[in-house]
Every structure is written in structure tokens, then in C-alpha cells.
């Protein structure tokens, strides 16, 4: 008999931290590594996860004819009694969508009273489904229903950002969850800036060593951000720095929770996911010309001022300084690689 699924609830203290994207990409990577995955869009008003599915699906008019989360909570046509849910195939994973049409207008959602009971019924039903992991994309913020979902899940993942506002809203959420019956809550810091190389990433991960609750830091990935919503997005998203950050965080979480499923990090070759952006302004030939010019000036200076005239005047320091400046772009491009190398590496992703 198949084991019951692990229920993972994804929350955040404030909106827009990256929950839906994390749910989608983590779900896909775990499925590619051999797990069976169900994603649940429990955010019927924003419906970010369902939006991803909507963009992926060829047939645009209707997302599903079966019961959605909005139907289940009575936000469309009165409370439903059915425990059968739509399960749409989204790449390698199944998804219970939030709504049946992306533009569907919903009734105001009362998060107290009967919806708390419904939440319990939903989670009981999810627990009986035959998956390894059920990952729930919850709403941002704090309310009764979100806390209830955390209590009913095996573990919760709070997605925060590194800025003071996101950190403080995350702390608020964690305080509320600590006062509840929530089992375990881990934080993932998303959109971490100034992480361009593997070294930057490692240094940033060092900072969380002592913090038991933070399981990972995911770099702000400008390439991912720029291709968000475009057709090529989903082909590239699984092999980005972003996906690598999620995978490493998952492995840490799995280690702490004694979950045997780990993601093989060899799927992220270093040279492909850590392109070093060059900030050079000239081509390789231009840089050679600059360097040769600087070398000739230096040679002239050494022969004329030191060997022939036999001494350096204080004004000569200006010349030394200017020659030094000429070398800077050359040295920088030598250390960081050329634009062409960067774009080649980027194109190979
Ligand atoms: N690490 C990252 N690097 C770059 N962009 C990111 C990263 N993580 C998320 N984003 C971008 O942030 C935006 C918000 O993401 P997403 O919709 O997943 O957030 P959310 O927390 O689900 O929002 P909401 O609270 O509205 O449901 C998207 O444009 C997404 O591409
Ligand atoms: Mg969302």
C-alpha cells in the first residue's frame, strides 16, 4: 500500500514574495526526480499558480469543468458537497486549480465559520490522495484559514525576502504560527540580491548556518524575472540559479525532516547556472589596443624619466595614475570574462 503523502503548506507574511513560483518549480523538480506530486492552488482570488497553468495550457477558454478550490469553498455556485476535485496535468505534476476560468468572478470569501470546517475536510481528502507530496500554495498574510492550513499540514514553508519589511511580516507570521498548533515552519529567503557567482551564493548561505529555521536563500534571478510569463519560461526555469537555490533548500529541509527524497544537485552544472556577468565596455581587440597603448606609455616613461633624466618629478605621478586607469578595464575583463563568453554561456542554458 502506498504511504500517505507529505503535506507541505507554502505561506508568506506579505504578498509577492514568490510562493506560487516556488510551488510550481519545486513541484516540477521533485516530479522529475521521481516523486508523484500534487499542487493545490489555495489562493482563489489571486490564483497565481492557476495562472501558470492557464498560460501553459493550449486551450485557453476554460481551465477545468470539474470541482475547483473556489467551487469547494462555495465561492461560485453555493457550497458543494462533492469531495472529487479537478486534477489537471501541468507538465510532470497534477494541479487542483483555484478557479475554472482565469477571469472568474468570485463571491467574497468569509474565512471564519464554515470555511474552517471545509478546510479540515479538504485536508482530510488531500491526505487520502495517492501522491508522495502535496504542495499547497496558500494566500499571503495571516488569517484563521491560513493558520488552520499550517496546523493541518506536516510542515509549512514561509517564503520571505531579505528586506526589512518582508522580514518583519515574516516574523509576525511566525509568531502567530508559534501560538498555534502548527507542527514545523521553515523560512526560505527569496530574491536575495548580489548573488551572481557560486562564491557569492556560498557566502550568503554561510550566514544562515546558525539559524535553524531558515533552510535556504534563493538568489534574485534576473534572467528568470525577465522571461517570466513568456513561452520559453518553463523550459528554462528548471535549470536556473533560482531552481538550484530551491533544490539546495529542499535538500536541507529533507535532511532536517528526515524525508528520504533528495534532489540530485548534479543536474545543475556550475558553468551553466552561474554565468558571470561582465561589465566591460570594449571588445577584446579594443582592450588589447588599450593595454598595448598603456604598455608603450609606461615603457616611454621608464626610459625617458628614469633612465635618461635620472629622476621622477612629482607631476609624473599624474602620468602613473593615468596609465593605471587605462589598465583597469583590461584587468577587469581579464578577471571577469568577456561579454561574448557571457552571452555564449547564457545561450547554452
Ligand atoms: N528568485 C527570484 N528571482 C527573480 N524573480 C523572482 C524570484 N522569485 C519570484 N520572482 C518573481 O516575483 C514575482 C512574484 O512571484 P509569485 O507570483 O510566485 O509570488 P507570490 O508570493 O505567489 O505572490 P502572491 O502573494 O501575490 O500570491 C514574479 O514575477 C516572479 O517571477
Ligand atoms: Mg501566489
pLDDT digits (tens, 9 = 90+) for 223-254: 888 888 777 788 888 889 999 999 999 999 99
Does residue 238 line the site of ligand 1, with CB under 6 A? no
Q: Are the C-beta atoms of residues 111 and 45 closer than 8 Å to each other?
A: no
Whether 96 shows a pLDDT value over 70: the answer reads yes
Please tell me the predicted confidence (pLDDT) of residue 22. 97
Q: Is 315 exposed, middle or buried (0-12, 13-18, 19+ CB in 10 A)?
A: exposed
Ligand 1 atom closest to Cα of residue 14: 25
- Cα atoms found within 13 Å of the Cα of residue 333, Cβ hemisphere only: 19
Which pLDDT belongs to residue 295? 86
What is the pTM (predicted TM-score) of this model?
0.81
Distance 137 CA to ligand 1 centre (A): 12
Q: Which residues contact 346 (CB under 8 A, 6 or more apart)?
A: 223, 275
Q: What is the largest CA-CA distance in the chain?
A: 99
Contact 72, 85 (CB under 8 A): yes
When comparing pLDDT for 262 and 204, which is higher? 262
68: CA distance to ligand 1 center in Å? Answer: 23
Q: Which of 140, 163, 225, 273 to mutate to test the pocket of ligand 1 (most atoms within 8 A of CB)?
A: 225
- Which tops the pLDDT comparison, 54 or 16? 16
Residue 342: pLDDT band by 50, 70, 90 thresholds? very low
Asked if residue 74 has its Cβ within 6 Å of ligand 1, the reply is no
Task: Give the lowest-confidence range in 25-34, 66-75, 274-283.
Answer: 274-283
Q: What is the spatial distance between Cα 31 and Cα 5, in angstroms, rounded to a whole number?
A: 14
pLDDT at 111 over 70: no
32-87 pLDDT, tens digit per residue, is: 999 999 999 999 999 999 998 888 877 677 889 899 999 998 888 776 778 899 99
Beta strands in 193-337, from DSSP E residues, in sequence order: 214-219
Q: How many Å apart are CA 336 and CA 88, to the nearest integer?
A: 45
Higher local confidence (pLDDT), 124 or 1: 124
List, in order, residues 6 or more apart from 242 with CB less than 8 Å away.
25, 218, 219, 221, 224
Q: Is 15 in the pocket of ligand 1 (CB under 6 A)?
A: yes
What is the DSSP code string of 128-170? TSS-SEEEEEEEES--HHHHHHHHHSSEEEEEEESSHHHHHHH
228 CB within 6 A, ligand 1:
yes
pLDDT at 135: 98
Residue 41 near ligand 1, beta carbon < 6 Å: no
Instruction: State whether the beta carbon of 205 lies less than 6 angstroms from ligand 1.
Output: no
Atom of ligand 1 nearest to the CA of 137: 22
Rounded to the nearest angstrom, the distance between the alpha carbon of 22 and the centre of ligand 2 is: 9
Amino acid at each position: 500500500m502506498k504511504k500517505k503523502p507529505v503535506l507541505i503548506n507554502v505561506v508568506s507574511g506579505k504578498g509577492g514574495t514568490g510562493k506560487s513560483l516556488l510551488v510550481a518549480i519545486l513541484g516540477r523538480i521533485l516530479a522529475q526526480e521521481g516523486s508523484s506530486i500534487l499542487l493545490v492552488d489555495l489562493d482563489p482570488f489571486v490564483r497565481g499558480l492557476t495562472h501558470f497553468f492557464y498560460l501553459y495550457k493550449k486551450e485557453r477558454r476554460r481551465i477545468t469543468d470539474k470541482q475547483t478550490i473556489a467551487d469547494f469553498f462555495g465561492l461560485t455556485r453555493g457550497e458543494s458537497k462533492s469531495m472529487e476535485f479537478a486534477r489537471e496535468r501541468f507538465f510532470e505534476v497534477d494541479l487542483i486549480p483555484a478557479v475554472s476560468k482565469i477571469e472568474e468572478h468570485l463571491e467574497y470569501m468569509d474565512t471564519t465559520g464554515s470555511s474552517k470546517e471545509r478546510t479540515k475536510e479538504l485536508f482530510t481528502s488531500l491526505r487520502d490522495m495517492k501522491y508522495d507530496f502535496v504542495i499547497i500554495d496558500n494566500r499571503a498574510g495571516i488569517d484563521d484559514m491560513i493558520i488552520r492550513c499550517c496546523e493541518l499540514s506536516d510542515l509549512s514553508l514561509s517564503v520571505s525576502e531579505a528586506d526589512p519589511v518582508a522580514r518583519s511580516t515574516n516574523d509576525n507570521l511566525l509568531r502567530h504560527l508559534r501560538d498555534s498548533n502548527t507542527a514545523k515552519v521553515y523560512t526560505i529567503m527569496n530574491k536575495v540580491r548580489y548573488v551572481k557567482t557560486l562564491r557569492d551564493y556560498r557566502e550568503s548561505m554561510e550566514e544562515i548556518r546558525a539559524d535553524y529555521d531558515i533552510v535556504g536563500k534563493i538568489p534574485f534571478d534576473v534572467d528568470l524575472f525577465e522571461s517570466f510569463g513568456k513561452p520559453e519560461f518553463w523550459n528554462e526555469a528548471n535549470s536556473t540559479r533560482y531552481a538550484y537555490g530551491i533544490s539546495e533548500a529542499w535538500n536541507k529541509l529533507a535532511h532536517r525532516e528526515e524525508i528520504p527524497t533528495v534532489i540530485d544537485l548534479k543536474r545543475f552544472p556550475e558553468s551553466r547556472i552561474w554565468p558571470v556577468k561582465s561589465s566591460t565596455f570594449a571588445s577584446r581587440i579594443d582592450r588589447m589596443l588599450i593595454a598595448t597603448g598603456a604598455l608603450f606609455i609606461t615603457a616611454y616613461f621608464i626610459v625617458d624619466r628614469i633612465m635618461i633624466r635620472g629622476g621622477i618629478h612629482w607631476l609624473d605621478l599624474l602620468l602613473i595614475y593615468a596609465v593605471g586607469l587605462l589598465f583597469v578595464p583590461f584587468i577587469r575583463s581579464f578577471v571577469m570574462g568577456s561579454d561574448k563568453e557571457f552571452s555564449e554561456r547564457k545561450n547554452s542554458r
